[in-house]
Structure 1
Amino acid sequence: MEKILLEDCCEILDSMRVPITSSDRVEGPYPYYGANGIQDHVAEYIFDDELVLLAEDGGNFGSKERPIAYRVSGKCWVNNHAHVLKPKDGLDVDYLCYSLMFYDVGGMVNGATRQKLTQAAMRQMLIPKRSITEQQYIVKLLGKVVSIKEERKHQLEELDNLIKARFVELFGDPKTNEKGFTKAPMGEYMTLLTDFSSNGSYKTLDSGVTMYDEPNYAWMVRTTDLESGDMSSIKYIDEKAYELLSKSKIYGGEIIMNKIGSAGKVYLMPEIDMPASLGRNAFMFRYDDRINVRFLYEQLVSEYGQAEIQQYVRGAVTKTITKDDARSVLIIVPEKELQDEYAEFVKQVDKSKVVLVCMTAKISRIIRLIVNSSTEYCIKRICIGFSEGVICYGI
């Protein structure tokens, strides 16, 4: 299929961007955009058009699920972390956006810690060249795919609400504890509270632990991995580093908490079939047999749980929580049988969620396939497959 350079089909408006530090922003009605979406709202605007914003740095580069480009419409402000593209005549703005959302920029971005897609590299990006009629046809098909995704997202939200409602039905409000359950510091039930630095001095760990982008012996678990659920961008360590980090090995089913940044945010480690070790900036908890971990996780992520945790978070700029504070978080502890009953209910609901999540996660593949498909037949087969819950290549 014939391709066209981005610099030949778009006006590049990067020179009009203006970053505003958070302290200098004046609150207002206009969205303030960055690499991955709205960052704030401000009192003035610098653009008033139909545009596509493409991440320059800090984007979701390498992710198979999270886009690196998105559409904006009307009055807005854009900082210097996103390229600003206005399609020229003959290029549909939505088609441009779909063409870039999941573009493989491997080999185009640079930077060891914060990857950057320079303007020079961006100008050389290629998108499929089609007539405006073909573009609009593809946009219409992808609109249907996105609608299905939104429907699945709504269904997931309803299942999450069902889990919350069942918790309240069985346990009431942990804050008032009207059902009279035991209420005690979480630390009284812990068998392990550990972190990366429990394995030795910073000097020893810095020299002995190297992270790799390519698959290696063990997964170095970061909370960003658990947040996104995207296994395509995880980091690895070798066997020697894994053994050095013997005090923070992960086997699945643990509770993990951010200790800095988004301090107090809680994750449930999924079951895994590979060696894994806890990354920096997080705590890992294990509990005795009086606690069902799934029940406790749902309590900790509830409105009560997060309020209870956040009272221990310190810091005006960089938020932190200590081990002792994590131990002090008050939890209700119903009879184990009741905890188990709730956890089994959640397990059954999760089975329905898995199906919906898998279907929703296919959106990026569907977009890439449709944008780059050369025949109408192939495009139709892909869409049919997605609506039926499978990806059908059918060529």
Structure 2
Amino acid sequence: MAVNRLNFSFSDCVHVYYRDSSCSFCIDVCPVEDVITQDDYRISVNTENCVSCGACVGVCPSEAFSLSGFDIETLFKTLKEESLLSCKKNLPCLSVLSVEDIVSAVLNAGSDVIFDTGYCRDCFIGTLLDEINKKVNEANYILEKIGVENRAITQDICFETEREEKNNRRSFLKNFGKAAAGLTFWALMPGISSFEEEKEEEVKNIVDEKINIKRRKRFVDALSSLNVDFSQIELGVDRISFTSDKWIDNSRCTNCSVCYNVCPTGALKAGEERLKILFQPKLCIKCRVCHEVCPEDCLHLKETLNMGTFLKETEVLAQHVMIPCEECLVPFSYKGDSTLCPRCRQLDEEIRDLLQIGE
């Protein structure tokens, strides 16, 4: 049996907050067929065939995946001494890092960080090189925009451990089970229990219980440590994968509250007696759940994200004046025109149509 190092917390999955979410990053990136699957809305993991590469950890927007025995905080502390990342040295796979992690790693190191891609093309678990390059390019775009000279750099180094230098690589790999083959990082780790008692997931109150994204805090802390005027820095929203800025068409928004109730991180929330919709880009994970649930399709992405806004501001996306409907007395968002709520207006229109048909 393969050692189960991958942990998955379904209660932190985006699909808990909106079951029909289009999010499928973990399924799309997994290099082994049928390890991560989706049945109806629920994501499942076949730990028997999982190779513990951690690619799903690097792409999951809500950090529902993690790896036992791998700690990014510890990794960052070592980068100032030697800024080399390799699957044969300190990572299970380079794909375990998110774009935010890569930017944070470079800022923490205070120098270029080298990504050893020498083993990627021949890796037995399949090619994740395109995914790694895509993340590195995005991270470097951010570093360039914020005026940092250091970069994440991919190089075919083929780092070898002392243990590998003494043994033929092929015979070395035969000593490990399916989950560890080709992943020297796990071979050098202390033993990790292969059995964890499954705990029954508790029902989550998605309105009140939001997800605290740890990598986001590291990213924000790393940016905040720089002596930079971020108010002058704009990122293209289509160039970044992990956050966004938004606007709401206030003429269409009905203040139904669905968007902020289902937001996984609390980036969207109500303000001032629920008459405002507020947004913190710093908490947004660009999961698009709010866009997908909006019944009026009035939530939109801005073209650019101001980094000063991202780090420090809470934006007011919509403001509402609530009045009781003339007909049903149910409060609704008044737009300065009709004093009938949308439901009663629709009913009136349907009655008029029926009368016209009768004539």
Structures share a fold, TM > 0.5? Answer: no
TM-score under structure 2 length normalisation: 0.25
Higher helix proportion, which one? 1
Higher strand proportion, which one? 1
